[in-house]
Structure 1
Amino acid sequence: MASLPSFRPSRRLFTAGAALAGVGLGVPLLLRAQDRIERPALRICVGEKASFYHLPLSIAERLGYFAAAGLQVQIDDYGSGAAALQALLSGRADVCAGAFKHTLSLQSRHQYCTAFVLEGRAPQVVTGVSLRSLPDYKQLEDLRNRRIGVSALGATTHLAATLVVARANLRPSDVSFVPVGLGASAAQAVRSGQVDAIVTLDPLITQLEQKGEVCVVSDTRTLKDTKSLFGGPMPAGCLYAPEAFLRQAPHTTQALADAMVRALKWLQTASPGDILKTVPPPYLQNDRALYLAAFQKLREAISPDGLIPEEGAATVLRAAAGFEPELAQAHLETGRLFTNEFARRAKQRYEA
């Protein structure tokens, strides 16, 4: 594998106090169950809510965990992580369910959002080579001068694609990255020959695998393969919000974390039947067996407790520095990227 961009942590980055990030935000260390929820009605924006990437969010909603925590939550699906982020920044939502990487990108532009509960501890993105376009594919170097489909330029799928081709000592300019979205549009791009390879999520990649349409060459649905590609723990989907929201509404934030961690705990022991009964029928796409097969392949990627790994920010920064030049020069403060205070209290609550 080609070496990742060199990364030398700045003093500010790792002395900001990741473990005590909640203190830096002025969040009380102890919140009682009877404390008043400041924002009982709120909006969460998300991109592609039906994806496995945000399955914990859907489970918390479907099983009534938000309501049980005293919240009236409206979840608005904007179709992509970038669009959901814009909804948050424009004030159309209070909290965003999106990629942890967004918190770094925002801070490099002096916009401060803090992640407070993790949905996924692996990105779940998978690279598949089209056997229609490249029936004689043998190695990653065969992707030279080929078209690689990604969900959107700048998305995690795009970042993963640049790292995959780097393994063959290919530069990003040696291939063409084509935005094809997710779901049906991405499937059509493969089947029509619009792209020669695809970097996408489940259940699509499992469907393409089962039909013999792609050969998987990189897979971040497992922790081992994620570490191999990114060089360390790579926090993925999470709930994040502007710093002001966490500071002004700590009880609301705690209630959100409680609901999400409860959903994560449920997912750790849920049976296939439980999953099929709980997710909205459209998620199954009229193929229950496919949905369950995909779920089993990525189950390890789902966070068991909502805690963001302390070294995760360094991994994201190292992987993305060559992808987003502004990050390479940024002096990021870990304590403003994420806090585990809320998820840790929720975890203690549900372990009791």
Structure 2
Amino acid sequence: MKHTVLRIAAGALVLGTLVPAAHAAEKLTLMVGGMEKQIYLPAKLAERLGYFKEQGLDVELINEAAGVDAENELVAGTVQGVVGFYDHTIDLQSKGKYIESVVQFSHTPGEVELISSKLADKVKSPADFRGLTLGVTGLGSSTNFLTQYLGVSHGVKTSEMTSLPVGAGNTFIAAIKQGKIDGGMTTEPTVSRLINTGDAKVLVDLRSPESTQKWLGGLYPAASLYMQNDWVQAHKATVQKLANAFVKTLRYINTHSAEEITAQMPADYYAGDRASYMKALANGKVSFIADGRMPESGPPTVLKVLGSFDRAVMGHKIDLSKTFTTEFVNAAQVK
């Protein structure tokens, strides 16, 4: 009996060395420049739908209020990817650092320049930005880029207006209500919350392709998954898995109603008003790209916008081919 038990134990030990252990999910950390913003909805939605796990990925999503801080974490190697605006790829290349969009979520900013209702009668266009204090998520953030461009393109120098970092959501709302800012650039659901309470009015709407072309002169690819170029080249299999998950998520957004999508999101994202969140999403779905591909006309528009006020971009020969890749979304389409 004793010898039999020993033989079984020894056999099990040998068998254990022959049978491979189950593959552990590959761990990744992605930083999101404002998790609750509807423009970055694909990140949380992919997690909620189980599309990361489906690809064998264990993805941790970290929230960061400002995109400029998220890009700093990426360059420092703290995170493997960022869900943020494509324009950071051009901004960083002008500083000698290379990151690229590997999945493009949207072809419009999805942002709105709001103005305090107290000033709505006086401020009719960006030409009236002179002397105003305007809220942005952070200095060097995409909201700051867009605000500066709107002013400069309407004859207002960047030195003639003040950008104040106030974040988004509750902090942005408090800044408007307390008079710390005269207006500012923000996104849904913050836009609807301020409109519904009557504290602000829409001055410039960059949510639809038509309005984006009107104000920026073309499509402006914005929300994306961007990563360091060198990391992408060294981890192609992993990047492909991420692309597979995000392209599937974008397809879900394209083929499901705002009500169905809203039902998948955490309740605290609604900020207490599910109906407004759903209505804003129904209108904002047009911003998302169904296949994750970069629109051909987009990068030149972004370069033009940044080059209008950013001296580093003006004086640097930007290679747009190194700011995005369609390799992984193209492969995801085949699957």
TM normalised by structure 2 equals 0.88
* Equivalent residues, number: 313
Please tell me the residue identity of whatever aligns with 1:194. Answer: K
Residue number in structure 2 paired with 1:48: 34
Tell me what 2:13 maps to: none
Counterpart Cα distance in 2 of 1:112 and 1:142: 36
Work out whether 1:238 is the aligned partner of 2:224.
yes
Instruction: Decide whether the 8 Å contact of 2:152 with 2:308 is kept in 1.
Output: no
Deviations 1:297-350 (A, max 9, x none): 21111121110122322111110013321111211222221110111221333x
Listed as ranges, the matches of 1:24-39 within 5 Å are none
1:188 aligns with one of 174, 188, 191 = 174
Residues 90 and 320 in structure 2, CA contact (< 8 A), matched pair in contact too: no
Change (3 A) 1:138 1:122: closer
Whose RCO is larger (CA < 8 A, sep 6+)?
1
Do residues 288 (structure 1) and 274 (structure 2) align?
Answer: yes
1:130 aligns with 2:116: yes
Deviation for aligned residue 1:178: 1.8
- Cα-to-partner distance string for 1:262-306 (whole Å, 9 max, x where unaligned): 000000122233123201111111210111122122111112111
Match among 217, 222, 236 for residue 203 of structure 2: 217
Quick one: distance in 1 between partners of 2:236 and 2:318? 23
Q: Does 1:326 align with 2:312?
A: yes
Q: Which amino acid aligns with 2:118?
A: R
Aligned to 1:13: none
Equivalent residue runs for 1:336-347 within 5 Å: 336-347=322-333
Structure 2 CA distance, aligned partners of 1:320 and 1:38? Answer: 43
User: Which letter does structure 2 place at the counterpart of 1:177?
Assistant: S
2:112/2:205 contact within 8 Å kept:
yes
Q: Is the Cα contact below 8 Å between 1:131 and 1:137 reproduced in 2?
A: no
Tell me what 1:10 maps to: none
2:29–2:60: 8 Å Cα contact kept in structure 1?
A: yes
Query: 1:277, 1:194 → 2: CA distance?
Result: 35
Question: Does the 8 Å CA contact 1:206/1:293 hold for their aligned counterparts?
Answer: no
In our comparison, the structure showing a higher alpha carbon Rg is: 2
Structure 1 counterpart SS, 2:277: helix
Change beyond 3 A, Cα 1:248–1:220:
same
2:247 counterpart of 1:247: no
1:106 corresponds, among 78, 82, 92, to 92
Q: 1:125–1:160: 8 Å Cα contact kept in structure 2?
A: no
Provide the rounded CA distance (Å) in 1 between the counterparts of 2:76 and 2:25: 18
> How far is 1:134 from its partner?
4.3
| Contact 1:128–1:216 (Cα < 8 Å) also in 2 | yes
Larger deviation, residues 163-172 vs 75-84: 163-172
Question: Which of 91, 96, 99 is matched with 2:77 structurally?
Answer: 91
Distance 1:237 1:137 in 2: 28
* Cα-to-partner distance string for 1:181-221 (whole Å, 9 max, x where unaligned): 11111101111111112211111112212222222121110
- Contact 1:123 1:220 survives alignment (8 Å): yes
Q: Take 1:82 and 1:144, find their aligned partners in 2: how far apart are those partners?
A: 25
Counterpart of 1:298?
284
* CA distance in structure 1 between the aligned counterparts of 2:178 and 2:98, rounded to whole angstroms: 42
Deviation at 1:43, TM superposition (A): 1.3
Structure 1 gap segments, 5+ residues each: 1-36
Shift of 1:139: 4.7
Q: CA deviation at 1:88?
A: 1.2
Correspondent of 2:256 among 265, 270, 273:
270
CA distance in 2, matches of 1:258, 1:272: 22
- Alignment match, 1:20: none
CA deviation after TM superposition for structure 1 residue 140, in Å = 4.4
Q: Deviations over 1:212-251 (max 9, x none)?
A: 2222121110001111222122110111111222211111
Matched to 2:146, the amino acid is A
Tell me by how many angstroms 1:176 deviates: 2.1
| In structure 1, C-alpha distance between the alignment counterparts of 2:125 and 2:45, rounded to whole Å | 39
Residues 233 and 348 from structure 1, CA distance in 2 versus in 1: closer, same or farther, beyond 3 angstroms?
farther
Q: Distance in 2 between matches of 1:223 and 1:297?
A: 12
Contact 2:243–2:332 (8 Å) recurs in 1 = yes
Match of 2:194 among 176, 198, 208: 208
Paired with 1:315 and 1:72, the residues of 2 have a C-alpha distance of 35
Identity, in percent, stands at 29
Report deviation, 1:167: 5.0
Counterparts of 2:290 and 2:106 in 1: how far apart (Å)? Answer: 9
1:113–1:243 contact (8 Å) kept in structure 2: yes
Gap change, CA 1:38 and 1:80, over 3 Å in 2: farther
Distance change in 2, residues 1:149/1:300 (3 Å): same
Equivalent residue number for residue 60 of structure 1: 46
Paired amino acid for 2:51: Y
Q: What whole-Å deviation, never above 9, does each CA across 1:111-149 have from its counterpart, x for those lacking one?
A: 111211011211111011211244554454444322222
TM-score w.r.t. length of structure 1: 0.84
**Who is 1:23 aligned against?**
none
